[in-house]
Amino acid sequence: MPTQRFEVTTESGMGWGDWWKRLFGGSASQNETVLFYDVEVGRAVCIPKRELRPGAVEVQIQGMDDLVWILPDQVSAGPILHEPFDEEVRDCIREIQATFAEHYSLSFDQWEEGFRRDTNPAQEIALWLHAGEVYRHFAADEPSADRRQDIYRCIAACLTASADNVWNVLEPQVLTREEAEQVVNRYYQKSP
Pick from 45, 58, 60, 50: nearest CA to 4: 45
Q: 65 and 114 in one domain?
A: no
Q: 135 and 57 in one domain?
A: no
CA 29 to chain centre: 19
Q: 47 and 103 in one domain?
A: no
User: Looking at residue 192, what is its pLDDT?
Assistant: 61
Q: Which of 30, 48, 74 is the last residue of a domain?
A: 74
Q: 137 and 64 in one domain?
A: no
How many CA within 13 A on the CB side of residue 63?
4
User: pLDDT by residue for the chain (192 residues), tens digit each?
Assistant: 333 333 323 333 444 444 444 444 444 456 788 889 888 888 899 999 888 888 888 888 778 888 888 888 887 788 999 999 999 999 999 999 999 999 999 999 999 999 999 999 999 999 999 999 999 999 999 999 999 999 999 999 999 999 999 999 999 999 999 999 999 999 999 866
The answer to the question of residue 145 being in a domain is yes
Q: 100 and 66 in one domain?
A: no
The answer to the question of residue 79 being in a domain is no
Q: 132 and 70 in one domain?
A: no
Q: Checking DSSP bridges between strand 57-60 and strand 33-38, what pairing results, if any?
A: unpaired
Contacts of 95-104 with CB under 8 Å at 24 or more apart are 95/129, 95/132, 96/125, 96/128, 96/129, 96/132, 99/132, 99/135, 99/136, 100/132, 100/135, 100/152, 102/145, 102/148, 102/152, 103/148, 103/149, 103/152, 104/152
How many CA within 13 A on the CB side of residue 67?
12
List, in order, residues 6 or more apart from 137 with CB less than 8 Å away: 186
Domain extent for 31: 16-74
Q: 96 and 64 in one domain?
A: no
Task: Give the DSSP letter of residue 190.
Answer: -
List, in order, residues 6 or more apart from 40 with CB less than 8 Å away: 2, 3, 5
Q: What is the Cα–Cα distance from 158 to 153, expressed in whole angstroms?
A: 9
Q: 64 and 110 in one domain?
A: no
User: Looking at residue 95, what is its pLDDT?
Assistant: 98
